[in-house]
């Protein structure tokens, strides 16, 4: 048994797949209920792998231990969101071509690494602002990120919060 949470919010209707811990034997597919609880029937006390691959959810794999008490393991699962970064100079003019480095503080991984690993798609212009000085990134796990922007000698570093199922608008002035 496991309870799927995004922060403190239970996640209902999430499809999970349960596997034997040390082999590729699939035990079954189980959805989470209204309280985020995933129940996979009568399983012997052991460790199992639980994978989550579903639109709107960051792909994840967890090791879950089935116990005699049946107490569910709390598993953190991230819904997807996005961010729109608008880079401006001190006069308020757009800064096209500013480079953007975005690092998930929770996962300690950069969005560039996720793009290189095929986890997320790259924007058409890469991790640079477009002609309007904007970069829109969608399909990212919600949570806290650190953003570093550079344009020539101008730069800015700030913390950004990507909301679940939404897009945060973040204006940034590079100095």
Rg (CA), the chain: 20
Residue 86: Cβ within 10 Å count: 17
pTM: 0.89
pLDDT along the chain (175 residues), means of 10: 95 94 86 94 84 94 86 94 98 98 97 95 96 97 98 97 96 97
- pLDDT of amino acid 44: 81
Q: What is the per-residue pLDDT for 42?
A: 72
SS3 12: coil
Interatomic CA distance for residues 140 and 58, integer angstroms: 7
The closest alpha carbon to 25, from 56, 59, 49, 52, belongs to 49
């Amino acid at each position: 048994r496991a309870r799927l949470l995004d922060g403190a919010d239970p996640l209902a209707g999430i499809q999970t797949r349960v596997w034997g811990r040390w082999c590729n034997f699939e035990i079954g597919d189980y959805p989470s209920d209204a309280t985020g609880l995933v129940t996979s029937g009568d399983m012997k006390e052991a460790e199992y792998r639980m994978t989550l691959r579903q639109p709107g959810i960051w792909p994840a794999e967890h090791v879950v231990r089935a116990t005699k008490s049946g107490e569910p393991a709390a598993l953190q699962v991230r819904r997807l969101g996005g961010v729109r970064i608008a880079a401006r100079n001190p006069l308020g003019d757009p800064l096209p071509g500013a480079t953007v480095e975005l690092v998930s503080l929770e996962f300690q991984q950069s969005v560039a690494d996720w793009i290189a690993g095929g986890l997320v798609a790259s924007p058409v212009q890469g991790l640079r602002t477009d002609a309007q000085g904007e970069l829109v990134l969608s399909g990212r796990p919600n949570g806290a990120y650190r953003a570093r922007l550079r344009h020539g000698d101008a730069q800015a570093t700030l913390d950004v919060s990507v909301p679940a199922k939404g897009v945060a608008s973040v204006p940034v002035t590079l100095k």
